[in-house]
Structure 1
Amino acid sequence: METSLSALAESVASGELPPSEVVADALERLDRTEPDIRAWVRVDRTRALDAARRLDSTVQKGPLHGIPFGVKDIIDVRGLPTECGSPLRRGRVAADDAHLVARLRELGAIPLGKTVTTEFAYFAPGPTRNPRRLSHTPGGSSSGSAAAVASGVVPLALGSQTAGSLTRPASYCGVAGLVAPVGGPLVTTGFAGLSHTLDAPGILTRTVADVRLAYLALTGPDRLADPVRDLECPRLAVWSGIELVDISDDMQTAVRHTVEAAVADGAELVDFDWPAVTPRLAEAHGTVMAYEASRALASEGRHPAQLSAPLDDLLTQGRSITDRDYQDALAVAAWARSAILTLLTDVDAIIGPAAPGAAPEGLSATGSPILSRPWQLLGLPALTVPGRFDGQGMPLGIQLIGHPERLDRLFALGHTIEHAAHGRH
């Protein structure tokens, strides 16, 4: 069965596939892949099948009617535990759905279960493996959601990002991912937060067109009939990221080829001098995250023996940050956001690497989030575009940063880039 969101939604809407068959197929895929990939914390098998059977006889169909989806285990699903990858939250059952889960149910979608997250959406990894190569990390913290989509179990999964928690797994697993703008229109009500200034919800699907479908269904279903169109003559600011971290040769090549293809199709390149600023933004991001996390997880911080060393270190650091240093970091963010929004009214996107390279080998760490930190501090939407690969066949995601009020242009550009990468443009 086709596993793209767009194709499944169309097949269900036409009556070709009943929701019960779609959910049963998802569960069969899960049973087949889960022993190797380990993307799921809990599968709500009985309730998912019951919900699908009820939808089989429903005449009025929502735009995501019968579509199974995964939910990162920092996000509440009514009747299921939200354990955040930590023994400190074990067995805490959610009384209500998070806002986005409730909204997806209204649209006809069915939560299949909870996907693995790193501990409190920080660094300590769970058991999930990369579907592209099991000995490599899937990234984090939205590791289970990215792997569940990449392995074809579900066409849609919810994740989140505070540093690089969705962009990096999308890149490593070879799927499309959207980090929504901080502050709306998608909201984090019902999420276990780490940093109220930085936390953003996210969507993972197989393609950019599928991300757009999910986003429009959640925010503007009246526009679902509009086809995704290529963006003519886009203006791009190219960002290498090399001022923050070593970028692999394969990733640099992937970005260069992507930009060259865009220029060949009529894109215009715009001078971009922000590499002098991004290290300062990454530093301010770290200050804000540590300060706010130490307060959001204050009760958990009193049990260091039940925390991983990285999380305990973060909370300890956050407690040592003064109010003045925190306010200074927020001031840096406010200044830079104003400046970048001015730039993004003149260009359609900043384009660069989504991660330093392909997914590293090993499961004891989740890779570096540094290439997302500057943009997450500024609350900007980030779209990860799949389709490029390194010499070993591992995925390399391209990151597009856009204006929070111009997501249509971000989706259109991502669609063009993705199709060019697959040779279908």
Structure 2
Amino acid sequence: MLSLIDIRTRIEAGDLTHRQAIAEAREAIAERDPSIGAVVCSDPEPAVPEEGRLAGIAVGIKDIIDTAHLPTQMGSPIYQGWQPRADAAIVSRLRQLGAVPLAKTATTAFAGLDPTVTVNPRDHGHTPGGSSSGTAAAVAAGMLPLALGTQTGGSVIRPAAFCGVAAIKASFRLLPTVGVKTFSWALDTLGLFGASVPDIARALALIADRPEIDLTDDAPSAPRIGICLQGFAGDADPDAAAALSQAARAAEAAGAIVTDVSLPDAFARAWDLHPVIQDFEARQALAWEYAHHREALPALLGPQLDRAQALTAAQYDSARREAHHARRQLKDLFGEVDAILTYSAVGRAPRGLGSTGDARFNRLWTLMGVPCVNVPVPGDGLPLGVQVIARFGRDGQALAVARAIELALARG
């Protein structure tokens, strides 16, 4: 994989020019993407700034995020060839930092559940996950050092786990979603994918203009980590359970204080009501597409919106109250632990391209609005990951604990 930090180090040392760094990404896309299908389109003649903290960094932009220089097609024929007039706020920020938004990465239609043609670069017979399918695959295949995704249920953490890359779903609204196609305004959150935890920490610190997010030597030497199995969400596969145990043992061996955490009933109720909030808002966010292009909506999203028409405002309001109640209890829980460690996905990436996988171990944390980090767990076969979660607004702490686990796992 391409490392953002390594590229910037080489540039600063004079061993690599900004243009050479972008050319390497373009060459990697040309060589590898024909067999993976992660990239929808790319800039054939990108402007390459030589100033900025992210100068020389090629970035993949999930294709529900507006770009003024490339089409934004939402993974749907409804928007084929559609060209926005302006960049999304997050893309403008990347440009301010000198980064090059080089490619649009494949997304499921409107960031829903219907799979794309993208394959998992670790094994082409398996899904890369979704909805940030192309984003995860492009980073995993070494085409791009940084890429943007979004998460409404599990669309950052799950594909990162399936493809074996680091990723963070930032705290809700830490990063601006202006210019990002909405599915659910109470849930949609931007995320970053990279080769390692330090790579995504550096990128998030710069993009959010919050230097404290970047990893420092001041990270807690003995973090309090709570293992959370989310029993109400069902059982994980044995491989995922083994990966979680492996990560917990490695963290404990490195000095972490590891305990078990049980979630009160309020979290089970909130988890169960996530789809009500999501779908009630989706029917409004996609009202034009539903009214004028119902026949063009894909096989899963169309019926999902059909069912959503029956949801009432009273059901929505009740679900929002339950979510708020759970968030208040989560504050108390984080008085006892610095971070939660749980599953990133049910197991390894499913075989075939008929499904993007199951988000049941992700959706509670999206609803809570807290930062979530995927840490790949070394091993044989298709990738597995674990999810590190911290208090709302403590993205730096989530990344610091994730880095400690990443290092502990590397030491074996």
Aligning the two structures, in what range does the TM-score lie when normalised by the shorter sequence? over 0.9
1:43 equivalent in structure 2: 42
Q: CA deviation at 1:363?
A: 0.8
1:201 has 2:190 as partner: yes
2:58 equivalent in structure 1: 68
How high is the TM-score relative to the length of structure 2? 0.96
Give a deviation string over 1:112-135, Cα, whole Å, max 9, x none: 110000010011111101011111
Is contact 2:3-2:196 (8 Å) kept?
yes
Task: Choose from 263, 285, 301 the match for 2:252.
Answer: 263
Equivalents in 2 of 1:416, 1:67: separation in Å? 25
Task: Choose from 286, 296, 302 the match for 2:275.
Answer: 286
Is contact 1:76-1:98 (8 Å) kept?
yes
Task: Choose from 110, 131, 145 the match for 1:141.
Answer: 131
2:300 equivalent in structure 1: 310
1:31 has 2:30 as partner: yes
Written as runs of structure 1 = structure 2, the 5 A alignment for 1:64-143 is 64-143=54-133
Q: CA deviation at 1:403?
A: 1.0
Cα distance, 1:225–1:325 mapped onto 2, change above 3 Å = closer
Equivalents in 2 of 1:272, 1:241: separation in Å? 9
Is contact 1:209-1:415 (8 Å) kept?
yes
Cα distance, 1:248–1:271 mapped onto 2, change above 3 Å = closer
Equivalents in 1 of 2:264, 2:349: separation in Å? 24
Is contact 1:27-1:153 (8 Å) kept?
yes
Equivalents in 2 of 1:232, 1:276: separation in Å? 32
Q: CA deviation at 1:388?
A: 3.1
Q: Which moved more, 1:281-290 or 1:216-225?
A: 216-225
Cα distance, 1:228–1:319 mapped onto 2, change above 3 Å = farther
SS across alignment from 2:114: coil
Is contact 1:88-1:306 (8 Å) kept?
yes
Equivalents in 2 of 1:225, 1:156: separation in Å? 15
Is contact 1:178-1:381 (8 Å) kept?
yes
1:5 has 2:4 as partner: yes
CA RMSD after TM alignment = 1.7
Is contact 1:146-1:204 (8 Å) kept?
yes
Q: CA deviation at 1:73?
A: 0.1
Written as runs of structure 1 = structure 2, the 5 A alignment for 1:176-255 is 176-184=166-174, 186-220=175-209, 222=211, 227=216, 230-255=219-244
Give a deviation string over 1:203-226, Cα, whole Å, max 9, x none: 000100001000111123655886
1:341 equivalent in structure 2: 331
Equivalents in 2 of 1:280, 1:230: separation in Å? 34
1:399 equivalent in structure 2: 387
Q: Percent identity?
A: 38
Cα distance, 1:221–1:66 mapped onto 2, change above 3 Å = farther
The aligned amino acid for 1:147 is: A
Equivalents in 1 of 2:256, 2:344: separation in Å? 20
Equivalents in 2 of 1:222, 1:216: separation in Å? 5
Q: CA deviation at 1:387?
A: 3.0
Task: Choose from 255, 262, 284 the match for 1:273.
Answer: 262
Cα distance, 1:30–1:229 mapped onto 2, change above 3 Å = farther
The aligned amino acid for 2:387 is: Q
SS across alignment from 1:274: coil
SS across alignment from 1:352: strand
2:352 equivalent in structure 1: 362
1:416 equivalent in structure 2: 404
Cα distance, 1:415–1:228 mapped onto 2, change above 3 Å = farther
1:319 equivalent in structure 2: 309
Q: CA deviation at 1:245?
A: 2.9
SS across alignment from 2:392: coil
Give a deviation string over 1:315-342, Cα, whole Å, max 9, x none: 1222111110000000011100111022
Equivalents in 2 of 1:384, 1:208: separation in Å? 9
- Displaced runs of 4 or more, over 3 A: 221-230, 275-279
Equivalents in 2 of 1:336, 1:413: separation in Å? 23
SS across alignment from 2:124: coil
Equivalents in 1 of 2:241, 2:218: separation in Å? 27
Is contact 2:373-2:388 (8 Å) kept?
yes
Q: CA deviation at 1:344?
A: 1.7
Q: CA deviation at 1:242?
A: 4.1
Cα distance, 1:161–1:130 mapped onto 2, change above 3 Å = same
SS across alignment from 2:270: helix
SS across alignment from 1:45: coil
Equivalents in 2 of 1:78, 1:373: separation in Å? 31
How high is the TM-score relative to the length of structure 1? 0.93
Consecutive unaligned residues in structure 1, runs of 5 or more: none
Equivalents in 2 of 1:197, 1:171: separation in Å? 24
Cα distance, 1:225–1:203 mapped onto 2, change above 3 Å = closer
Q: CA deviation at 1:410?
A: 1.2
Is contact 2:273-2:319 (8 Å) kept?
yes
Q: CA deviation at 1:362?
A: 0.3
Equivalents in 1 of 2:211, 2:184: separation in Å? 33
Is contact 1:104-1:110 (8 Å) kept?
yes
Q: Which moved more, 1:310-319 or 1:166-175?
A: 310-319
SS across alignment from 2:28: helix
The aligned amino acid for 1:151 is: A
The aligned amino acid for 1:295 is: Q
